[in-house]
Amino acid sequence: MSAPASLATLGENGLLRLLTARWKPDPRKVPVGVGDDCAVLRGEGKNRFLLFKTDAVVEGVHFRPREKPELIGRKALARALSDLAAMGAAPLAAVITLGVAKHESVRRLKGIYAGLEKIAKKYGVNLVGGETTRAKELFLNVALIGECRGYAPVLRSGAKAGDLIAVTGQLGGTQSGKHLRFAPRLAEGEWLARKKIATAMMDLSDGLGADLPRLAKASGASFQIEAKAIPRSPNASLHAAINDGEDYELLFTVPPSRAEKLKKEWPFATPVHFIGVMGRRGARSGFPTGTYGFDHFKQH
């Protein structure tokens, strides 16, 4: 019997496949399970879906100990909200799990929860409960429910050859602190879903270099990128824009026949940039050599 693969060999995607390969939810109740930004559950009535998401931030991984407490709490909820945005859903309610060492400052914890409460109020999220536990490093886990009412969520798997590839905003701002202050693109994502303009969509949490290949694989397609068209944050290199991750912008595909409608009717200040095109299955995809985005386990 061969030795099990290491986490560095598996990477995040491989580990996920290994651990969840036997999960077979009831398709009558769960149209979408593992593999998209959120799980999709059938709601009551026609064309109503509930979306379920969990996400965590860990001290030393997602934020430094010296960060402003309010920004830590803000990021914890904003990350999960970004995943709802990636499927076009509106948020409903969240529960929060806090892991904390016994010596932690109560004042700091109050600041973290103040940040959570502020962003929850801004985006209409009901904070309805949670859990606390002792831990070596401070962490927060958010379990979030949202909904699509009257329209279907946008999945990663709907892109077709010939669809244009688009992103919102600018990429590569992680090092300047964008990952703590970003605005989840909830209104933009819901608009794209309601208007049935986006054929596939996800948020850019691990970088364009990791997330676009995921979308292409889910859609059974390839992609070609025009590097000069990738919008960069001020002072960000092309490498940073592709690889750094934690941009939390929307990555989506649009049929060429809908691109003009998108340009004319887009009602948001957030800019949209077309950066490439989807290709047929099996064709070579276009990224610079060595591009991979962010992975928690692989050695870069």
3 found inside a domain: no
From 9-23, 71-85, 266-280, the region with the lowest mean pLDDT:
9-23
Number of domains in the chain: 2
Owning domain of residue 197: 156-279
* Section 220-237 average pLDDT: 94
Same domain? 169 vs 73: no
Q: Domain containing 138 — which CATH number? A: 3.30.1330.10
Same domain? 105 vs 31: yes
pLDDT above 90 (res 273)? yes
In whole angstroms, how far apart are CA 290 and each of 104, 170, 225, 269? 41, 22, 15, 34
* Section 86-115 average pLDDT: 95
* Section 145-159 average pLDDT: 95
Same domain? 58 vs 137: yes
Report percent pLDDT > 70 for the chain.
Answer: 86
295 found inside a domain: no
pLDDT above 90 (res 17)? no
Same domain? 203 vs 266: yes
* Section 212-221 average pLDDT: 95
Instruction: Point out the domain boundary residue: 130, 149, 168.
Output: 149
296 found inside a domain: no
Q: Domain containing 271 — which CATH number? A: 3.90.650.10
* Section 128-139 average pLDDT: 93
289 found inside a domain: no
* Confidence grade of residue 34 (pLDDT, cut at 50, 70, 90): low
C-alpha triplet 225, 227, 232: angle, nearest 5°: 120
Instruction: Point out the domain boundary residue: 149, 175, 207.
Output: 149
Instruction: Point out the domain boundary residue: 149, 164, 193.
Output: 149
Same domain? 133 vs 103: yes
- What is the pTM assigned to this prediction? 0.86
pLDDT above 80 (res 3)? no
Q: What is the mean pLDDT of the chain?
A: 89
pLDDT above 60 (res 156)? yes
* Confidence grade of residue 22 (pLDDT, cut at 50, 70, 90): confident
* Section 4-26 average pLDDT: 67
Same domain? 61 vs 25: yes
Same domain? 144 vs 271: no
